[in-house]
Amino acid sequence: SVQAFVSQDQVAAYATSKTALLGLTRTIAIDYAPQIRCVAVCPGTIDTPMLQHAILESPDPAAVLQECKDMHLLKKIGSAKEVAAFIVFLAGENASFATGQAYRIDGGLGIAIGGSKQKDQ
């Protein structure tokens, strides 16, 4: 999750566990190279059953959905297919020099939480 890099209130345990996975990723990359590569994928808000449940359980689902979109520079929620395609790329030969790193697929969430005021006008 992108929460390994940026966080919010009330998610201390979640953010801590995601940050720990970055250390594990680096250690596995060191311990098992050169035979095995290890990378981490850190997504932003992704359209999953868990997200849909959280949105539908909120008092104003439409407002929460829009808020989720607006947090990202690309003004949308990512899809599981987008994340899967990114992982397939990282696992393939075209990324064979990648190891020990964390890759964000977060629609710009990690560089500008809350989006860009300029883009909203």
Known catalytic residues are 14
What's the alpha-carbon Rg for the chain, to the nearest Å? 16
Q: What is d(CA 55, CA 57) in angstroms, rounded to the nearest whole number?
A: 5
Tokens in use for 107?
Answer: 């629609």
Rounded to the nearest 5°, which phi and psi values hold at 38?
-140, 125
* Cis amide bond preceding 59, omega within 30: no
Would you tell me the crossing angle of helices 49-57 and 61-70 to the nearest 10 degrees?
130
Tokens in use for 53?
Answer: 């449940």
